[in-house]
């Protein structure tokens, strides 16, 4: 595995050396931006990383304990994208190098690090139709599909961490319809393996089916701002996106569909149950103000995993419940931004998990938009209505 990483780094170095004389790119637009002389392909290489410090105070029922401090490289990634043969055939490859990116080795991925985040081709085969094939994000809740490079607060919400559907291997069909001068509708369908990214040892259970509909009544956002948080472009006219996602994971074998433990019985067989997840979300931007709202709900036909007798519990339980996330911010002309978020998560009683609420206040300084920024936030959390935790985070992002 080390030799593979060295090979990748050597190739990147070779590209850099080759491109020194011809590159006219600038910071934030990719370190390498190469187009073949005959326009038969292109390659853009854009590394990025996020570093942060975290201080956390837990409440023990009587008072807050002494803080715990941690410094981490949250994300470190290499991204390649461009077109091949024709501008109608695009591709994206993204590799993760941080421990959070590559963790999750198990017998279903040959106990190897999970380096590959995205490996997908996107073919505009007719009109407004695109066919995607490979591993990439499913058309789930808007917060998850927004790149971690373009977040308004330091990381995503509790709603996302508990109920998102993340990445998977499969195909997607995407289409957009323009009705009138501004009204836009986008339809996205997906059929995928159902077990998350980098699964290489067959397909357990059934397949996963996802459908998403997006409505933009006032037209498109500037620079795809519906999938980039904060109103960095200062929309001159109000812009709104309404989205709804339905996800059905047939005979799911993991506690959260794409993630969590495989529900393995004592005899080695795997417990299966149908899981359904729905999302409703909205994004609004106008003149420096931005808002995002999300609702998520996951259900399962039989959430308590059992042995072959259908009675004895294995100890695994599908994480079912619902969550609400509301987030807003205002960007000043100085490129400082204040942002706030409220999240509530409620689990079905059978999971034995307690309801949680979290209140977050953030302060950002955008130096070169999302490409170079400093962020901080402080969160107060309650568990079942009782004080639970206070967390302060400070970090920076740099994206070439």
Q: Flag whether 63 is in a domain.
A: no
State pTM to two decimals.
0.92
Q: Flag whether 81 is in a domain.
A: yes
Mean pLDDT, range 370-376, rounded to an integer: 98
Tell me what pLDDT residue 31 has.
81
What pLDDT digit, counting tens, does each position of 217-261 carry? 999 999 999 999 999 999 999 999 999 999 999 999 999 999 999
b/e per residue, 60-73, with b = 16+ CB within 10 A?
Answer: eeeeeeeeeeeeee
Structural domain containing residue 316 = 33-45+77-362
What pLDDT digit, counting tens, does each position of 142-179 carry? 999 999 999 999 999 999 999 999 999 999 999 999 99
**C-alpha dist (Å) from residue 369 to 8, 228, 292, 348:** 28, 11, 19, 40
Mean pLDDT, range 65-88, rounded to an integer: 96
Tell me what pLDDT residue 209 has.
98
Q: Flag whether 207 is in a domain.
A: yes
Q: Flag whether 66 is in a domain.
A: no
% the chain with pLDDT above 90: 88
Q: Is 352's pLDDT higher than 90?
A: no
What is the distance between the alpha carbons of residues 26 and 23, in angstroms, rounded to a whole number? 9
Secondary structure class of 78 (helix, strand, coil):
strand
Q: Flag whether 284 is in a domain.
A: yes
Contacts of 218 (CB under 8 A, 6+ apart): 182, 237, 238, 239, 240
End-to-end CA distance of the chain: 26
Partner residues linked to 71 by β-bridges: 53
CATH code for position 243: 2.40.160.10
> How many domains does the chain contain in total?
1
Q: Flag whether 313 is in a domain.
A: yes
Q: Flag whether 316 is in a domain.
A: yes
Q: Flag whether 7 is in a domain.
A: no
Sign of dihedral through CA atoms 84, 88, 93, 94? positive
């Amino acid at each position: 595995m080390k030799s593979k990483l060295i090979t990748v780094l050597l190739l990147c170095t070779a590209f850099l050396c080759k491109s020194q004389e011809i590159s006219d790119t600038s910071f934030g637009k990719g370190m390498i931006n190469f187009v073949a002389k005959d326009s038969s392909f292109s390659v853009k290489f854009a590394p990025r990383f996020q570093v942060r410090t975290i201080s956390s105070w837990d409440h023990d029922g009587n008072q807050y304990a002494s803080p715990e401090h941690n410094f981490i490289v949250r994300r470190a990634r290499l991204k390649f994208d461009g077109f091949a043969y024709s501008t109608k055939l695009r591709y994206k490859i993204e590799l993760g190098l941080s421990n959070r990116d590559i963790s999750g080795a198990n017998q279903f991925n040959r106990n190897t690090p999970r380096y590959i985040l995205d490996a997908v081709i996107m073919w505009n085969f007719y009109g407004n139709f695109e066919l995607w094939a490979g591993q990439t994000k499913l058309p789930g809740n808007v917060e998850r599909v927004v790149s971690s490079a373009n977040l308004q607060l330091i990381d995503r919400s509790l709603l996302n961490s508990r109920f998102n559907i993340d990445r998977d291997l499969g195909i997607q069909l995407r289409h957009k319809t323009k009705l009138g001068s501004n009204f836009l509708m986008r339809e996205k369908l997906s059929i995928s393996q159902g077990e998350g990214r980098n699964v290489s040892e067959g397909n357990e259970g059934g397949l996963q089916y996802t459908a998403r509909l997006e409505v933009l009544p006032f037209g498109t956002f500037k620079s795809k701002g519906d999938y980039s948080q904060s109103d960095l472009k200062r929309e001159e006219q109000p812009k709104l996106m309404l989205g709804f996602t339905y996800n059905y994971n047939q005979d799911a074998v993991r506690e959260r569909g794409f993630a969590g433990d495989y529900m393995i019985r004592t005899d080695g067989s795997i417990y299966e149950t149908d899981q359904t997840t729905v999302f409703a979300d909205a994004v609004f931007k106008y003149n420096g103000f931005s808002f995002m709202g999300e609702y998520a709900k996951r259900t399962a036909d039989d959430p308590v995993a059992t042995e072959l007798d259908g009675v004895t519990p294995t100890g695994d339980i599908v994480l079912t419940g619902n969550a609400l996330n509301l987030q807003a911010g205002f960007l000043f002309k100085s490129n400082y931004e204040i942002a706030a978020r409220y999240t509530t998560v409620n689990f079905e009683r059978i999971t034995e998990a307690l309801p949680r609420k979290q209140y977050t206040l953030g302060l950002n300084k955008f130096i070169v938009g999302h490409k170079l920024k400093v962020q901080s936030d402080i969160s107060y959390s309650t568990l079942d209505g009782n004080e639970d935790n206070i967390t302060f985070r400070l970090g920076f992002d740099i994206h070439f």
